[in-house]
Amino acid sequence: MNGSLSDQQINRSYLAAKERYASMGIDTEKTLQVLAKIPLSMHCWQGDDVGGFESAEGLTGGGIMATGSYPGKARNGDELRADLEMALKLIPGKHRVNLHAIYAETNGKKIDRADLEPCHFSNWMAWSKEQTIALDYNGSFFSHPMAASGFTLSSLDKLVRGYWIRHGKGSRAIGEALGKNQKSTCYVNLWIPDGYKDNPANRMVHREALLKALDSVFTEKIDPRTMRDAVESKLFGIGSESFVTGSFEFYLGYAVSRKKMLTLDMGHFHPTETIADKISSVLLYIDELLVHVSRGVRWDSDHVVTLSDDLYALAYEMTQKDFLNRVHLALDYFDASINRVAAWVIGAQATQKALLAALLSPRAALREAEQARDFTRRLALFEETRTMPLGAVWDHFCQNHGVPTGTGWLTEVQQYEKNVLSKRI
Ligand code: RNT
Ligand code: ZN
């Protein structure tokens, strides 16, 4: 018993749901066409707890941490790609894959991070072509001796700063190569962990250093159809509780003044602050946004995404106007305590369900009520949407895309765990 229904049962429920939505003026067919075209950039790093292929040590510092020791994590490129393929089969629609510099494949040779080149991603590029999966990219400014001080691009040590500037430049060149290898733009995100555990005496020196360093990283002009830069802010991390150089205000100013994309990570703000409210403000000044879909729980910001109010609120905001073309979704969480393939599927499907719920909301009626200052009706309508038959429409969507309904996908993941993951000892 996994909640999977027969095709006939799914169709019957869908037809009833379709009528129910139609009674509120919502076209489910059109909605599903829109949903099918929203790509999620799947973060490869959920597959091995942000370990990467440089050493067996895994994630060391950088204000982030993966906890748990669930068996079966991917140990090399082939395993990681196989796991990603498995997850992607169980997520309806066509999606992208997001890489990090630490996932370079160097044929056993030790290549310094600042010396990485596109050729170290040739396996990924071949895979991208073969699977027609577009790739995105991130420089990795953590888990490295040169980041041991807790500072990278905003370090006051010229040598350290210079090292990471080189890494930043190299990352853009790799992003450009990935973009050329595929039929769509490669989004290159830059996040640095830099910060202090305790109150700093001088915040400004680090922010001045970061501003200059970023300008150096971005000197090379690259065709925006091939590659686009994004900068990601954060409020605090583990070991950087009191100060993070790359704060929201810092990067908002940077992105506006330098015409860069801004990355908003759902877990990088005060616990009660949601990014949903930021979309319509930021898009007045910035062309495009990257969203890191994540879930903050107390001090940690990287739990597997679930269908929460926050996620729905974000989806509602980004399905307004032309925002779907301007807000790009990338998953970003890492849970090492559960099956990693399942973690991908659960987070991706939750994001799609939130988008579906948002697309199916009676937006016209809601706006009408608001315009008439009928806030009673507005609230009643929002509440009504919570019990609309979303699940039946979702099942139909999965069925259309050849993905098992209910938790049928989990049966396949369990089989994969038995046949493949459990053998990785
Ligand atoms: C960390 C940032 C960053 C990373 C990944 C691995 O707080 O969210 O995006 O999670 O790049
Ligand atoms: Zn992030």
CA 14 to centroid of ligand 2, rounded, Å: 36
Instruction: Give 322: exposed, middle or buried? Use CB within 10 Å, 0-12, 13-18, 19+.
Output: exposed
Are β-strands 327-331 and 289-293 bridged in parallel, bridged antiparallel, or unpaired? Answer: parallel
Which residues of the chain does CATH 3.20.20.150 include?
Answer: 39-359
Distance CA 335, CA 340 (A): 7
Query: Is 332 a residue of the active site?
Result: yes
Residue-wise pLDDT for 23-39, tens only, equals 999 999 999 999 999 99
Q: What is the pLDDT of residue 298?
A: 87
Over 90: is that where the pLDDT of 147 sits? yes
Mean of per-residue pLDDT scores for the chain: 97
Q: What is the pLDDT of residue 56?
A: 86
**49 in a labelled binding site:** no
Size of the chain, expressed as the number of residues it contains: 425
Angle in degrees, CA 294, 299, 300, rounded to 5: 35
Q: Of the listed 48, 49, 176, 300, which one is catalytic?
A: 300
Residue 63 pLDDT level (bands cut at 50, 70, 90): confident
Residue-wise pLDDT for 200-251, tens only, equals 999 999 999 999 999 999 999 999 999 999 999 999 999 999 999 999 999 9
Q: What percent of the chain has pLDDT over 90?
A: 94
**Which residue has a Cα nearest atom 5 of ligand 1?**
332
Are β-strands 327-331 and 186-190 bridged in parallel, bridged antiparallel, or unpaired? Answer: unpaired
Q: What mean pLDDT do residues 4-24 have?
A: 94
Q: What mean pLDDT do residues 262-287 have?
A: 96
Q: What is the pLDDT of residue 300?
A: 80
Q: Of the listed 229, 288, 332, 417, which one is catalytic?
A: 332
CB 206 within 8 A of CB 154: yes
Angle in degrees, CA 197, 203, 204, rounded to 5: 160
CB 276 within 8 A of CB 283: no
Q: Of the listed 73, 234, 260, 396, which one is catalytic?
A: 234
Residue-wise pLDDT for 308-333, tens only, equals 999 999 999 999 988 999 999 999 99
Torsion of CA 116, 117, 121, 122, to 10 degrees: -140
The Cβ-side half-sphere exposure at 89, using a 13 Å CA radius, reads 14
Closest CA to 186 of 171, 196, 204: 171
Determine the straight-line distance between the first and last CA of the chain, rounded to whole angstroms: 31
- What are the b/e assignments for 108-128, b being 16+ CB within 10 Å? eeeeebbebebebbebbbebb
Q: What is the pLDDT of residue 301?
A: 81
Over 80: is that where the pLDDT of 140 sits? yes
Query: Is 234 a residue of the active site?
Result: yes
* CB atoms closer than 10 angstroms to residue 176: 19
Percent helix / strand / coil, the chain, rounded to 5 = 50, 10, 40
Ligand 1 binding residues, C-beta < 6 A: 45, 50, 64, 138, 191, 232, 234, 265, 292, 332
Residues ≥6 apart with Cβ < 8 Å to 240 = 63, 150, 193, 194, 195, 196, 197
**Which residue has a Cα nearest atom 1 of ligand 1?**
64
CA 292 to centroid of ligand 2, rounded, Å: 5
Distance CA 220, CA 384 (A): 51
Over 80: is that where the pLDDT of 2 sits? no
Q: Tell me the pTM.
A: 0.97
39-359: CATH topology is TIM Barrel (3.20.20)
- What are the b/e assignments for 354-365, b being 16+ CB within 10 Å? bbbbbbbbbbeb
CB 247 within 8 A of CB 231: no
Closest CA to 319 of 382, 288, 363, 267: 363
CB 140 within 8 A of CB 102: yes
Maximum CA extent, the chain = 67
Nearest ligand, CA of residue 190? 1
